[in-house]
């Protein structure tokens, strides 16, 4: 089977010490016509500088509006193996933890019904299975669901929420990201599988400002763990860092974005003006033994980031500076519901919530969700004066 | 109104709109609820039942979703009709 196509262009991408997707597709092509024709079509694309994929249309499993992205070759006669090459998104477990048994099961199912090619994980967070035919979709879904898997979101829906590894592996997690992610995934099952929104809505959860799932840049709602009180300092460990050669002034204090740290080289002690600290994690990540997040933990909620699809990219914007998050997270769910309701009532088709806030103004959004204006919400000082007034505030 | 009757209304509307406008669930529910006076939740339930049995299906284009009448060719490919 393999060797049907000469691929000099793609072969270039196998050179060097890095893993190569071309090598992996070639391995899959030894036992899959689909993977082999995918290789052939891709080589042709590299030569002609043209893409040959069409995507969309009615394709999916019964009752679900998401989880399958229809993909077809525009050259089905030349590359019959990829005439259909649909993507299946599988809802990943919170924090991306799998047993090897579970991964083997997924791979076996995909060898049976698909190209064998996978992408762990797509930028949505889902476990992505690449390339299957329409007639295999119901069978794939039945096999996946019989083993406890479910499809993820796609289209104008709640997208599969995702989170960092959180408390399972990381001492900096200020919130239980995995529990929250699972809870929101269960709560929004209907919105995830039945696309009824103006466009996509993504929730990503990071346990601290290191933001390992890039929530601030990729989620309509970014939930980022933080603390309210003071950074915990162990001065003995600060001293040990200094004695071990760390230039605390240069590498920590001078790089603090709010300039709220003070280091005394005489007695090798560190002070932090916590009221000025923006919880960026820089100092904590550099002096892991000496500094720890505070004890009063919760999360900052930010809204509106997106990649540049319809209009330009946006970063998320602070809406709630601090919220305590305890199961079953009812306050949070209620707030998200209000955000979605306002967006659903006001957005044009394919308008993300961040774009709608830009169009209608932060005031309208905050009023609709019942959050008062706060200084922390000012994204660009001077450009966004938060004067919230109504006609009725003035005496006629 | 019986669910079957409501579903016929939905289907007629979908046939009328075919090729003219991409309809989201919400558009269909709003229209049929306005036309029949039925509660939106009742219309939603009838619509969802049609989607579950493949009489209507979700469709996807340019990242946005809509609801459509599936083609016979698609239903055949899926093995839902012979
Ligand atoms: S985002 Fe923070 S808490 Fe989560 S894994 Fe990364 S460093 Fe740890
Ligand atoms: S967390 Fe960031 S802002 Fe706060 S003290 Fe450390 S470096 Fe400065």
CB count, 10 Å around CB of A307? 12
Q: What sign does the dihedral A319-A385-A261-A296 (CA atoms) show?
A: negative
Opening angle at CA A149, ends B77 and B65, nearest 5: 55
Stated pTM of the model: 0.92
- Calculate mean pLDDT across residues A65-87: 95
From the CA of A205, which ligand is nearest? 1
- A236 Cβ partners below 8 Å, 6+ apart? none
- pLDDT tens, position by position, A296-328: 999 999 999 988 766 788 899 999 999 999 999
Sequence ranges of the domains in chain B: 3-77
d(CA B57, CA B67): 6
The class (CATH top level) of B3-77 is mainly alpha
Q: Could you confirm whether domain A232-292 is CATH 3.40.50.720?
A: no
Cross-strand partners of A86: none
Opening angle at CA A242, ends A240 and A247, nearest 5: 150
- pLDDT tens, position by position, A29-49: 999 999 999 999 999 999 999
CB count, 10 Å around CB of A136? 17
Is it the case that residue A389 has pLDDT exceeding 90?
A: no
Q: How far is CA A126 from CA A80, A119, A162, B12, B20, in A?
A: 27, 9, 8, 37, 34
State residue A50's pLDDT score.
97
Tell me, letter by letter, the H, E, C secondary structure of A136-172. Answer: HHHHHHHHHHHCCCCECCCCCCECCCEECCHHHCCCC
Distance A293 CA to ligand 1 centre (A): 12
CATH of domain A8-146: 3.30.70.2500
- pLDDT tens, position by position, A327-374: 999 999 999 999 999 999 999 988 999 999 989 988 899 999 999 988
- Whether chain B has a CB inside 8 Å of the CB on A155: the answer is yes
CA B67: distance to chain centroid? 6
- Calculate mean pLDDT across residues A96-109: 95
Q: Collapsing DSSP states into helix, strand and coil, what is residue A32?
A: coil
CATH 3.30.70.2500 occupies which residues in chain A? 8-146
CB count, 10 Å around CB of A390? 8
State residue A60's pLDDT score.
84
CATH 3.30.70.20 occupies which residues in chain A? 232-292
State residue A375's pLDDT score.
86
State residue A1's pLDDT score.
46
The tokens of A148 are what? 């406890």
Annotation: CATH topology of A162-228+297-377: Sulfite Reductase Hemoprotein; domain 1 (3.30.413)
State residue A123's pLDDT score.
82
Is it the case that residue A2 has pLDDT exceeding 60?
A: no
State residue A396's pLDDT score.
63
d(CA A176, CA A180): 6
- pLDDT tens, position by position, A50-74: 999 998 777 888 889 899 999 999 9
- Calculate mean pLDDT across residues A132-159: 94
- B18 Cβ partners below 8 Å, 6+ apart? B68, B69
d(CA A167, CA A182): 14
Is it the case that residue A243 has pLDDT exceeding 70?
A: yes
CB contact under 8 A, B48 and A56: no
Q: What is the largest CA-CA distance in chain A?
A: 84
Q: Residue A384's pLDDT band (boundaries 50, 70, 90)?
A: low
CB A281 within 8 A of CB A216: no
CB contact under 8 A, B58 and A65: yes
| Residues of chain A found within 8 Å of residue B62, distances taken between Cβ atoms | 56, 350
Q: Which of A77-91, A164-178, A354-368, A369-383 has the lowest mean pLDDT?
A: A369-383
State residue B16's pLDDT score.
94
Mutate to test the pocket of ligand 1, among A95, A96, A170, A217 (most ligand atoms within 8 A of CB): A170
Q: Which tops the pLDDT comparison, A262 or B61? A: A262
In this complex, the residue of A137, A156, A309 whose CB is nearest that of residue B65 is A156
- Calculate mean pLDDT across residues A79-108: 96
Is it the case that residue A221 has pLDDT exceeding 80?
A: yes
State residue A174's pLDDT score.
98
In this structure, what DSSP letter does residue A371 have?
-
Q: Interface pTM (ipTM) of the complex?
A: 0.87
Interface of B with A in 7-46 (CB under 8 A): 22, 24-26
State residue A387's pLDDT score.
63
d(CA A221, CA A351): 15
Q: Collapsing DSSP states into helix, strand and coil, what is residue B65?
A: strand
A206 lines ligand 1 (CB under 6 A): yes
State residue A159's pLDDT score.
96
CB contact under 8 A, A156 and B64: yes
State residue A119's pLDDT score.
94
- Calculate mean pLDDT across residues A138-162: 95
**Buried b or exposed e, range B21-53, using 16+ CB within 10 angstroms:** ebbbbbbbbebbbeebebeeebbbebbebbbee
**Strands A203-206 and A297-303: what pairing?**
unpaired
Q: Collapsing DSSP states into helix, strand and coil, what is residue A209?
A: coil
Please state, rounded to an integer, the average pLDDT across all residues of chain A: 93
- A199 Cβ partners below 8 Å, 6+ apart? A156, A347, A349, A350, A351, A352, B63, B64
- Whether chain B has a CB inside 8 Å of the CB on A106: the answer is no
């Amino acid at each position: 089977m393999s060797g049907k196509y000469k691929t000099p262009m793609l072969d270039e991408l196998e050179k060097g010490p890095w893993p190569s997707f071309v090598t992996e597709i070639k391995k899959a092509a030894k036992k899959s016509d689909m993977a082999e024709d995918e290789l052939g079509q891709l080589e042709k694309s590299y030569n002609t500088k043209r893409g040959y994929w069409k995507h969309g249309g009615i394709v999916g499993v019964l009752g679900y509006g998401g989880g399958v992205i229809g993909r077809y070759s525009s050259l089905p006669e030349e590359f019959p193996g990829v005439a259909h090459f649909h993507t299946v998104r599988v809802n990943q477990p919170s924090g991306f933890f799998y047993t090897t048994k579970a991964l083997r099961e997924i791979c076996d199912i995909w060898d049976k019904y698909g190209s064998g090619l996978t992408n762990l994980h797509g930028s949505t967070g889902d476990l992505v299975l690449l390339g299957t035919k329409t007639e295999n979709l119901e069978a794939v879904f039945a096999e996946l669901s019989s083993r406890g898997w479910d499809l993820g979101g796609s289209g104008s829906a709640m997208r599969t929420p995702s989170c960092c590894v959180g408390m399972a592996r990381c001492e900096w997690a200020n919130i239980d990201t995995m529990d929250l992610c699972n809870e929101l995934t269960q709560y929004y099952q209907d919105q995830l599988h039945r696309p009824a929104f103006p466009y996509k809505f993504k929730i990503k959860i990071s346990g601290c400002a290191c933001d390992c799932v890039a929530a601030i840049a990729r989620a309509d709602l970014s939930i980022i763990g933080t603390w309210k009180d003071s950074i915990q300092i162990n001065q003995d460990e600060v001293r040990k860092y200094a004695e071990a050669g760390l230039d605390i002034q240069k590498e920590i204090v001078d790089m603090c974005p709010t300039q709220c740290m003070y280091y005394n080289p005489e007695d090798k002690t560190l002070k932090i003006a916590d009221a000025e600290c923006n919880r960026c994690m820089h100092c904590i990540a550099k002096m892991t033994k000496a500094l720890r997040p505070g004890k009063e933990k919760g999360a900052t909620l930010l809204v509106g980031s997106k990649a540049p699809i319809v209009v330009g990219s946006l970063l998320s914007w602070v809406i709630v500076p601090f919220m305590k998050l305890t199961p079953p997270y009812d306050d949070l769910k209620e707030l998200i519901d209000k955000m979605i309701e306002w967006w659903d009532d006001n957005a044009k088709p394919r308008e993300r919530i961040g774009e709608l806030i830009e169009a209608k103004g932060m005031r309208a959004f905050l009023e609709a969700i019942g959050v008062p204006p706060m200084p922390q919400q000012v994204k660009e000082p001077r450009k966004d004066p938060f004067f919230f007034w109504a006609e009725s505030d003035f005496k006629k | 109104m019986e669910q079957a009757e409501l579903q016929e209304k939905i289907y007629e509307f979908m046939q009328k709109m075919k090729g003219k406008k991409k309809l989201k669930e919400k558009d269909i529910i709003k229209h049929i609820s306005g036309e029949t006076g039925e509660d939106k939740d009742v219309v939603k339930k009838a619509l969802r039942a049609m989607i579950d049995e493949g009489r209507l299906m979700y469709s996807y284009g340019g990242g946005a979703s809509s609801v459509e009448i599936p083609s016979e060719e698609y239903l055949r490919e899926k093995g839902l009709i012979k």
